[in-house]
Amino acid sequence: DGQLVITESASERLSKIRQSRDALLALSDVLMLKLNDSDAISGSPDVLARQRLATYRQALRDVTLQDPFAVTWPILETNNE
């Protein structure tokens, strides 16, 4: 009948976004550990991979600054593009 029905508040939505963001940050922690190991084994840091991961992690932290009903999730760029 054309009526707008709100099923979720902005604070509820933001809470779910934070949960998803935190899970993705935890996964990126594992990637950072692997990168650290790889750097230690090879003896030379992969600067580009570190920059990409740092940029991705910052974008994840910034995701809560977006409209909770129109979030654009960051994508981690890899060398396998």
Enumerate residues 6+ apart whose C-beta is below 8 A from 61: 21, 25
Q: How confident is the model at residue 18 (pLDDT cuts 50, 70, 90)?
A: very high
pLDDT at 81: 44
The whole-angstrom separation of Cα 73 and Cα 17 is: 10
Q: pLDDT tens digit string along 23-68?
A: 999 999 999 999 999 999 999 999 999 999 999 999 999 999 999 9
Q: What tokens were used for 52?
A: 């990409």
> Taking the model in full, what pTM does it have?
0.83
Q: Where are the beta strands (DSSP E) in 1-81?
A: none
